[in-house]
Amino acid sequence: MIRLHDVDLPDNVNRQLRVWQRDVSAVKNYERRIEKAQTDWKKKNKKNNPTFAVVRAKLAEMCAGPQRCGYCEDSAADEVDHIRPKSFYPDIVFDWENFLYSCGICNKRKLAKTAVVDRSKREIERLERTTGEPPARPPKGPSAFINPRQEDPTRFLYLDLSATFAIVPREGLSRLDRQRAEYTLELLGFEKRAYLRDARQSAYEAFEALLKNYIAAKEKRKNVDRADEVKNKIRKRPHPYVWFEMKRQHDKIPALAKLFGDAPEALAW
């Protein structure tokens, strides 16, 4: 999971989202507001809705890889996820900053779960709402979930390239940041999906092969204009987080140290 580059919505789409949000926020009762947020979302979030056609297109521009999920980077992104769930935060149900294009699996894992940072205790407070439970307002505080639209997940996470291809919290994190990393990984359930580890390993091998081919062409002096070609191929592949970690860890893994030593320019790709 990497930091996603942000894009702007056209003014007319922003205006329409604000109109829809005002209709929801005008409901005084918190429980009724949640109900309206969920009902209005189902009505508006249609692929044939011209506003959401633009929203989806813009979210696709932000995707990690070729319209890959902004969380797992593996499956196709085809659902508009609320980073902070609408069942807790109806006042941002139509907020562009709260949208992310995700796959159905990651979206469903998040659903009605969230957590906030309790600054006084320097720890996170988990919140979860079950069906039929009367809704209570969440306590104030920043989200504990690592938001790839606003934060750099690589500051919190580390990919084990040398053995398991599992994503784990980085060493040296503060107690609170480690809690946030653990919570985010638990919520998304990456390590419960073994195929994701296999996909990361396959991505590693594909990136490695691209780099080897580039170096071979470079050594034969046939790499005129090859840098841009290989760079574009790398950018179009899923699992950009794997490529990031290959660059970050290249001096610790002998095979990568050799490759990036032969092509140091690739560290800027």
pLDDT of amino acid 225: 62
* pLDDT at residue 128 in the model: 81
d(CA 111, CA 254): 42
Residues 83 and 98 sit within 8 Å (Cβ to Cβ): yes
Angle in degrees, CA 52, 56, 61, rounded to 5: 145
CA–CA dist 122, 61 (Å, integer): 36
pLDDT for residue 231: 84
pLDDT at 120 (0 to 100): 82
pLDDT in tens, 174-215: 999 999 999 999 999 998 999 999 999 999 999 999 999 899
Residues making up the chain, counted from first to last: 269
Q: Which pLDDT value is given to residue 223?
A: 55
DSSP helix/strand/coil, 115: strand
SS3 73: coil
Q: How far apart are CA 121 and CA 176, in angstroms?
A: 10
Asked if residues 226 and 218 have their Cβ atoms less than 8 Å apart, the reply is yes
Residues forming a β-bridge with 134: none
Distance (Å, rounded) from C-alpha 89 to C-alpha 138? 8
pLDDT of residue 151: 96
**Residue 111: what pLDDT?**
82
> So what's the pLDDT on residue 173?
97
Would you give per-residue pLDDT tens digits along the chain (269 residues)? 999 999 999 999 999 999 999 999 999 999 999 999 999 999 999 989 999 999 999 999 999 878 999 999 999 999 999 999 999 999 999 999 999 999 999 999 988 889 999 888 889 999 887 777 778 899 999 999 999 999 999 999 999 999 999 999 999 999 999 999 999 999 999 989 999 999 999 999 999 999 998 998 887 765 556 778 888 888 889 999 999 999 999 999 999 999 999 999 999 99
Q: Are 236 and 196 in contact (CB under 8 A)?
A: no
